[in-house]
Amino acid sequence: MLRKLAFTGIKSRIRDYLVLFTGLVISSAVFYMFEAIATNPEFLKSSTNGMSLVSFIFQTGSVLLTLISLVYIFYANSFLLSMRQHDYGMFLVLGARPKKIGSLILAETLVIGLISSVIGIVIGVGLTGTLGGYLMELVLQDKLAHFQSLYLPAVFITLVLYMVLFIIAGLLNRRKLIKTPVLALLKGEREPNRPRLKPISAAIQIILGLGLLASGYFAMAKLTKLREIGIFFALVVIVLGSYFLFNAVFVGAVILLKKTKWAGRGLNNFTLSQLSFRIRNYTKILATVSLLFALALGAITVGMGFGKKTEMFSQGASAYTMALRDPSAAVKKQVKALDLEQQASYTQKKVKNTLYFEKEEFDQNPLQDVPDNWFDRAAHGKVQKISFQKLNGSQLQKNPGALYSIAQENFDQEIKLVSTSKFNALQAPRQEFYLFRVKDIQKAQPQLEKIVRTLYPKKHQQMRTMIPGGYASYLQAKQMFGGFEFMGFFLGIAFLAMLASCLMFKILSGANSDRQRYEMLNKLGVRPRVLRQSISREIMTLYALPGVLGIAHVLFGLQMFKPLLITPYQGIWLPFTIFIILYLLYFWVTVKLYEHIVLPKVEINR
């Protein structure tokens, strides 16, 4: 009988549970996709050498997603407990034993976790087979072999992990319920938590919050020196700083606004009273949501930032797209069909372990090379397009380092530039050293792949990253940066779903108790349009505050990625715009769901 009553209560709140399911389902779906890509041994063996790096990237993403999912599941289950605690209190009043109720809570938590995980895995299989497979082909720049959308070990890992997380959350909820007095369960969140403005305490918290945030931002900017300690320190102080700031500023702002003339206009005072009713509980969730917001926006921004650096990385790796030895007439014909920016041909001879070049050829046609300070200048945003330096024969004779990077066949090989007479005197066959650079390596990629296939018809996959020049670096950068871009995008979507679900669930969990107040306003003759405006302002405040602080976290947090991204702030308007649109969509859905719950179905005649 008790189980029947409990699951009847769940059925009556199915809309609220669907909000919770959204974050859980997306989280488990993304986790499954990461595991299906990173743990399939047949797929990893059949792919290129760069796949080991991609596997590491997605395993890292899985760990990050697990940590955030753990926090989300704890919050979500605490919301479930607060939403159902009145029902549990009634069961206790009717004679149910606390341990029996505790077992019931654990069972409900496991059922919710099992259903959401299974649905998430099903969606994850679909994502892996469609969008995941397509994006992986873009990352690896080749057709996928042995790529399985349904990979049973990944299913097992996902199911076991999420069930373990739900068991832990269920046990904590069970313990919390048993320790909570029956009267507190019955009243729940209906008891207002009226804040009091304490100027001295508020000032101390604001100063402390700003100081902690500033020290956290400073630690992120100096991460190259502080390393692991800096990450841990920044995480702790930013969490504490966010909470202190919200607790002081949000509470103080609401109290002070209620004393202004603006509060007396329309339903402004009612809106402020709604915010202050559960304001202490909101400060905790808003601080958490601001951090999740920063993680979500940061993941998408950094991921897209990595995607933009592929071209820059290949430019800085070499002045030439490919360096070929004795290319055939067919290969040269394919090269000439490209949109070329530069090409050069030199003669070389190999004697034992030494490569000889004719110095006069480089005087006539200097070798181009990447400037030594180019990466430093690019890091400060001083250059967008590289300008290569020219090295003549005399310069290369003194320092043939530029030739080593593209002409050296093995690490212990020596390179020398000699006069024409000495070069002709060498008893060795002549070889052509052929160099070329395309204007747009991304656009020319299909033609470059044909050239590699012509050169190595049987070992195309292995040799395409072994050819000296910028194309090999481009492929390697595509694998590394593309993997980060792929991971960052899906991590951002998962974090966004979880943060929005947390905030949405927190707002909607108190909607039933707010219904009476909106019924009263309706009876007093307040127009539905005015009620909707009040709802929009209240919910907009709860969405905007963590959003603003989250954006600040991201803007300062991007300092951590300067060593990797070179120019982390370049083009950030695009990920910011995409993310804010998605965030506003969640805001709009929350408003509509809240209106559906609280607004009276019958309007009073006026």
Alpha-carbon distance 71 to 386, whole Å?
45
Query: 247: which DSSP letter?
Result: I
**Sign of the alpha-carbon dihedral angle for 403, 408, 413, 417:** negative
Closest to 21 measured CA to CA, from 95, 114, 102: 114
CB 403 within 8 A of CB 392: no
In a domain, 261, yes or no: no
pLDDT tens digit string along 41-56? Answer: 555 554 444 445 556 6
Average pLDDT, the chain: 77
Task: Tell me what pLDDT residue 385 has.
Answer: 66
Tell me the mean pLDDT in the region 56-73.
74
Tell me the mean pLDDT in the region 371-387.
63
Number of domains present in the structure of the chain: 2
Say whether both 323 and 187 belong to one domain: no
The residues near 310 (Cβ < 8 Å, ≥ 6 apart) are 442, 474, 477, 478, 481, 482
The residues near 533 (Cβ < 8 Å, ≥ 6 apart) are 266, 267
pLDDT tops 80 at residue 388: yes
3-class SS shares of the chain: helix, strand, coil, % to 5: 75, 5, 20
pTM of the model: 0.73
pLDDT tops 60 at residue 191: no
Strand partners, 347: 432
In a domain, 257, yes or no: no
Tell me the mean pLDDT in the region 161-187.
74
pLDDT tops 80 at residue 68: no
Residue that terminates a domain, selected from 468, 494, 512: 468
In a domain, 586, yes or no: no
Task: Tell me what pLDDT residue 346 has.
Answer: 92
Residue that terminates a domain, selected from 160, 191, 222: 191
User: CB burial class (10 A; 0-12, 13-18, 19+) of residue 348?
Assistant: buried
Q: Which residue has the higher pLDDT, 480 or 296?
A: 296
With tokens 């009267």, the residue in question is 183
Percentage with pLDDT > 70 across the chain: 76
Percentage with pLDDT > 90 across the chain: 4
Closest to 127 measured CA to CA, from 253, 45, 199, 27: 27
Task: Tell me what pLDDT residue 434 has.
Answer: 92
Tell me the mean pLDDT in the region 317-338.
89
> DSSP letter string over 379-393?
HTTS-SS---EEE-H
H-helix segments, 380-469: 393-398, 401-407, 420-425, 445-455, 460-463
Strand partners, 346: 433
Query: 144: which DSSP letter?
Result: -
H-helix segments, 94-129: 98-127
pLDDT tens digit string along 112-148? Answer: 888 888 998 898 888 877 766 666 655 555 555 556 7
The residues near 478 (Cβ < 8 Å, ≥ 6 apart) are 138, 139, 140, 141, 310
pLDDT tops 80 at residue 398: yes
pLDDT tops 80 at residue 85: no
Strand partners, 324: 434
In a domain, 171, yes or no: yes
Instruction: Kindly report which listed range (259-273, 329-343, 500-514) carries the lowest average pLDDT score.
Output: 259-273
With tokens 């704890």, the residue in question is 74
pLDDT tens digit string along 431-469? Answer: 999 999 998 888 888 898 899 888 888 777 677 778 888
CB 298 within 8 A of CB 557: yes
Closest to 420 measured CA to CA, from 349, 369, 473, 488: 349
Alpha-carbon distance 230 to 238, whole Å?
12
Radius of gyration (C-alpha) of the chain in whole angstroms: 31
Alpha-carbon distance 362 to 366, whole Å?
5
In a domain, 218, yes or no: no
Tokens representing 493 are: 């979507």
Q: Are strands 414-418 and 354-358 parallel, antiparallel or unpaired?
A: parallel
pLDDT tens digit string along 339-363? Answer: 898 899 999 998 888 889 999 999 8
Most confident of 134-138, 139-143, 482-486, 495-499: 495-499
Task: Tell me what pLDDT residue 505 has.
Answer: 75
Tell me the mean pLDDT in the region 182-191.
57
pLDDT tops 50 at residue 208: yes
Residue type (1 letter), 296: A
Residue that terminates a domain, selected from 413, 437, 468: 468
CA torsion angle for 209, 215, 219, 220 (degrees, to 10)?
40
Say whether both 5 and 143 belong to one domain: yes
CB 508 within 8 A of CB 19: yes
Task: Tell me what pLDDT residue 435 has.
Answer: 92
Domain range holding 422? 319-468
With tokens 């250059």, the residue in question is 383
Say whether both 186 and 323 belong to one domain: no
**Which letter, b or e, does each residue of 367-381 get, where b requires 16 or more Cβ atoms within 10 Å of its Cβ?**
bbbbeeebeeebeee
Q: Where does the pLDDT of residue 428 fall: very low under 50, low under 70, confident under 90, or very high at 90 and above? A: confident
Task: Tell me what pLDDT residue 136 has.
Answer: 60
CB 539 within 8 A of CB 584: no
In a domain, 442, yes or no: yes
- What are the CA-CA distances from residue 515 to residues 76, 203, 557, 594 (Å)? 23, 36, 41, 10
In a domain, 385, yes or no: yes
CB 54 within 8 A of CB 37: yes
Alpha-carbon distance 59 to 559, whole Å?
24
In a domain, 115, yes or no: yes
- What are the CA-CA distances from residue 262 to residues 174, 347, 510 (Å)? 45, 83, 26
